[in-house]
Amino acid sequence: MRTQGTGPAPQMPETHYLNATYGIRSWLLTTDHKRIALLYLASVTFFFFIGGFFAMMIRLHLLTPNGLLLTPDMYNRMFTMHGVAMVFFFLIPSIPAVMGNFLIPLMIGAKDLAFPKVNLLSWYVYVVGGLFTLGAMIGGGLDTGWTFYTPLSTVYSNSAVAPAVIGVFIVGFSSILTGLNFLVTVHTMRAPGMTWFRLPLFVWAHYATSIVMILGTPVVAITLGLAAMERLFGLGFFNPAMGGDPILFQHLFWFYSHPAVYIMILPAMGVISELIPTFARKRLFGYHFVAAASLAIAVIGFLVWTHHMFLTGQSTYAAVAFSFLTFIVAIPSAIKTFNWTATLFGGSISFDTPMLYAFGFLGLFLIGGLTGLFLGALGVDINIHDTYFVVAHFHYIMVGGAVMGYLGGLHFWWPKITGRKYPEWLARIAAFILFIGFNFTFFPQFILGVMGMPRRYHMYPPEFQIYNVMSTAGASILAVGYLLPMVYLTWAAFYGEVAGENPWPATGLEWKTQSPPLTENFDVTPVVTWEAYDFHNRPDLGLDVPSGQGSPVVAPAHGDD
């Protein structure tokens, strides 16, 4: 990170949201969206560690064809708990509940979310759900796969299915409350002048995500509720021996869980839409198209769920229709990728760490998205469905896409969150290690899939070993790549160089208040007179706008200037 040229070194503001009040009570009973975001940050990081530990166990075990260190039952518990921890307790809440929570009010010029107490409640709901699931993991484990397919989960599994399912059921409400809060906030609390089409695309992406959260999560809650009742009371919803239909479970489950993929990736796309204009110092190319693409993904994402079920024996007509819709849902993502790329042209591009993550995201999301076309094509899916190809594909989206976006965003907004800078060179090296480690881990899995290695295998025929060894080697590099930012970001929060109000500089409203912000975010409600990512009409940023460029109407003072 560059210092801002001339002028005195920035000082930490005297009061800000972190030191406004003290004591554990002031955190646990806070209604400040920024503090709640930090509570979420701590808790999702905890689950990321748990999920990551299980992942390391899985990769170590698969080093040899007969498995290195776990019994089959232990292995099954490891991959199940890896999936549950990562999907429900890390990926789904990560960007929305941490960064969305912190930034949406700041970005739209509001003092807080619309329902601050509900926001705190949603964190407590998350914690209660998390404790249930943790309890299940410690007492008995879980071996159904994160998908909880029936009748394995409801009748045959000898693990702690009920508490785990109840935990996921509970955590869903946290998601619903967060989505509700975001929607109402964006609708009602935008600052004067912050019209819909001046909103940062991060906010648009979260708006679309919130729609999915509110419409999809109740369905999975009901589904898991039914599964819990079948497990606990023997009600025959899904068990064919009692007249139930196990495929019904899959329909209901994927009706949420496919859109849930977009809950994970849309916010990351939102982060990327902030990073690229900031570090290319240029408006995002095709703003309206990118915003519309977010909404299109949210809507069409609800219409593709049975592509997880092409080979369950579902009707051929249904499979054909859903395959078609699957190809259609890919288009908005392609539009976004092209617009991000076009933004770079004519920009003034720097290679600060967040931008490196944005580049990493583009590359990995590209591979993740394009490999989706293989799986969406019915004829190819017959072969690679339920193989490692699928595992590689969704890790490129979830880890390559969502986690790269998450880390890029954390680095970008860390100066705003903590008021301090992270060590730039160390961060660049970590980003590089992550990118290498990631590809090393997951690219070989595509080939394993093509070779026909099914997923969720605790042992495998020897011809698959070479790629498993590569993958495990990559995973150990990847682990270093994750540990580094955790260490230096934590260090930087306390000892980093003071960042100042707008170190990059960036155009969003969140950069027009002190770092870290006041509890109320802004001294005076800001008035917005510029479009998103407009560097040319922003003399306050102190950049060299070539004469003749920029509209003649120079933006007036902005509230707190």
Of residues 15, 19, 188, 383, which one binds other proteins by CB under 8 A? 383
Q: Which stretch binds other proteins (CB under 8 A): 133-141, 363-371, 398-406, 435-443?
A: 363-371
Residues numbered 438-467 forming contacts with other proteins, rule: CB under 8 A: 447, 450-452, 454-461, 463, 466
* Distance of closest approach, residue 350 Cβ to other proteins, in angstroms: 5
Q: Does 289 bind other proteins (CB under 8 A)?
A: yes
* Distance of closest approach, residue 471 Cβ to other proteins, in angstroms: 13
Of residues 124, 196, 197, 345, which one binds other proteins by CB under 8 A? 345
3-state secondary structure of 140: coil
Cα–Cα dist 475/494, whole Å: 30
Per-residue 3-state assignment (H helix, E strand, C coil) for 198-217? HCCHHHHHHHHHHHHHHHHH
Exposure of 249 in the CB half-sphere (CA atoms within 13 A): 23
Q: Which stretch binds other proteins (CB under 8 A): 119-127, 227-235, 380-388, 483-491?
A: 380-388
x-marked contacts with other proteins along 247-266 as a string, rule CB under 8 A: x-------------------
Report which residue type is found at 79.
F
Alpha helical stretches, state H, 281-315:
287-300
Report which residue type is found at 237.
F
Of residues 283, 295, 469, 527, which one binds other proteins by CB under 8 A? 283
Q: Does 243 bind other proteins (CB under 8 A)?
A: yes
Cα–Cα dist 357/409, whole Å: 9
- What are the φ/ψ torsions at residue 333 (nearest 5 degrees)? -65, -40
Residues numbered 144-173 forming contacts with other proteins, rule: CB under 8 A: 145, 149, 151-152, 155-157
Of residues 11, 69, 73, 195, which one binds other proteins by CB under 8 A? 73
Q: Does 78 bind other proteins (CB under 8 A)?
A: no
Exposure of 129 in the CB half-sphere (CA atoms within 13 A): 27
Cα–Cα dist 45/90, whole Å: 7
Cα–Cα dist 210/481, whole Å: 30
Cα–Cα dist 284/265, whole Å: 19
Q: Does 7 bind other proteins (CB under 8 A)?
A: no
Residues numbered 112-141 forming contacts with other proteins, rule: CB under 8 A: none
* Distance of closest approach, residue 450 Cβ to other proteins, in angstroms: 6
* Distance of closest approach, residue 32 Cβ to other proteins, in angstroms: 34
Q: Does 542 bind other proteins (CB under 8 A)?
A: yes
* Distance of closest approach, residue 346 Cβ to other proteins, in angstroms: 4
Residue 524 or 549: which CB sits closer to other proteins? Answer: 549
Q: Any idea of the CA torsion for 420, 425, 427, 430, to the nearest 10 degrees?
A: -160
Cα–Cα dist 445/451, whole Å: 10
* Distance of closest approach, residue 248 Cβ to other proteins, in angstroms: 11
* Distance of closest approach, residue 192 Cβ to other proteins, in angstroms: 23
* Distance of closest approach, residue 160 Cβ to other proteins, in angstroms: 15
- The answer to whether the beta carbons of residues 515 and 197 sit under 8 Å apart is no
Task: Indicate the length of the chain as a whole number.
Answer: 561
Residue 426 CB: number of other CB atoms within 10 A? Answer: 16
Residue 19 or 348: which CB sits closer to other proteins? Answer: 348
Residue 2 or 117: which CB sits closer to other proteins? Answer: 2
Residues numbered 11-40 forming contacts with other proteins, rule: CB under 8 A: none
